[in-house]
């Protein structure tokens, strides 16, 4: 079972569970984003990072635009490159 209206959250499952008196796993199941939607959003973010890198931006600039760390920006670019290599090889 996943959330009918998934939204990005600011509190952890543990924090919510403590406030309502249930187990964190119960909260996680109730508010989880459907996997296919997560993968779609994740791949779009990776592709954007790769586009920015191909446009000549440095990892620090990509990180600033995406609101993440420089290392996370590097990982996003690498994952996009790896995924594109796999799809072009098949």
Residue boundaries of the structural domains of the chain: 1-33, 34-89
Q: What is the pLDDT of residue 33?
A: 84
Q: What is the pLDDT of residue 14?
A: 92
- Say how far apart CA 60 and CA 66 lie, in whole Å: 10
pLDDT in tens for each of the 90 residues of the chain?
455 555 666 888 899 999 999 999 999 888 888 889 999 999 999 999 999 999 999 999 999 999 999 999 999 999 999 999 988 776
What pTM value is reported for the model? 0.69
Q: What is the pLDDT of residue 88?
A: 77
By CB neighbour count within 10 A (0-12 exposed, 13-18 middle, 19+ buried), where does 57 fall?
A: middle
* Cα–Cα separations (whole angstroms), residue 19 to 3, 22, 46: 19, 8, 35
Q: What is the pLDDT of residue 80?
A: 98
- Say how far apart CA 73 and CA 78 lie, in whole Å: 9
């Amino acid at each position: 079972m996943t959330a009918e209206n998934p939204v990005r959250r600011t509190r952890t499952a543990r924090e919510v569970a403590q406030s309502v008196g249930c187990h964190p796993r119960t909260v996680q199941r109730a508010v989880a984003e459907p996997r296919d939607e997560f993968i779609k959003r994740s791949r779009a973010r990776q592709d954007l990072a790769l586009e920015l890198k191909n446009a000549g931006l440095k990892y620090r600039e990509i990180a600033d635009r995406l609101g993440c760390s420089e290392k996370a920006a590097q990982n996003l670019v690498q994952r996009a490159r790896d995924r594109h290599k796999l799809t072009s090889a098949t």
